[in-house]
Amino acid sequence: MSMTITSSSFPHQGVIPVRHTCEGHDTSPELFWNDVPEGTKSLVLIMDDPDAPDPAAPKRTWVHWVLYNIPVNSGGLPEAVAARDLPPGTLEGLNDWQRTGYGGPCPPIGSHRYFHKLYALDTVLPDLNQPTKVKLEQAMQGHILAHSELIGLYQKH
């Protein structure tokens, strides 16, 4: 068995509901993970959009959410999770709006793909003081035991 990440809000490769976007309440989706490998000490969640700004001519990957040191036994995150309700020990990184927390899909043009990436690490990372995705990925190097992705799609109405 390999580690999986799923959501009750949308299926893999399915459309993300408006409530999770800038056109709705901009709340995070409910997420679940299973089959975390033995020896995992912490989890990392990164949500990003590789289709920014235009899927026909992408120029960058836009980072929407960065969480790390998620406890192995957490099993997932509830919908609309607030920072105060994150599992104990979970730390936040900066998204591309230069703030912590979830920032939902808000594509300027076309249908974009939103990757919810879950990583199992063989360590608990030190406090990286609200790292960017790049800094977090550097700290994760050599510690990834498993990786899983949930992809959601969204196009503004």
pLDDT in tens, 49-98: 999 999 999 999 999 999 999 999 999 999 999 999 999 999 999 999 99
Q: Is residue 141 scored above 90 in pLDDT?
A: yes
3-state SS, residue 147: strand
All residues at 6 or more sequence positions from 40 whose CB lies less than 8 Å from its CB, including other chains: 72, 120, 121, 122, 145, 146
> In what helix (H) or strand (E) does residue 5 lie, and over which residues does it extend?
strand 4-7
SS3 state at 94: coil
User: Span 16-27, mean pLDDT?
Assistant: 98
Average pLDDT of the segment spanning 109-120: 98
pLDDT for the residue 1: 66
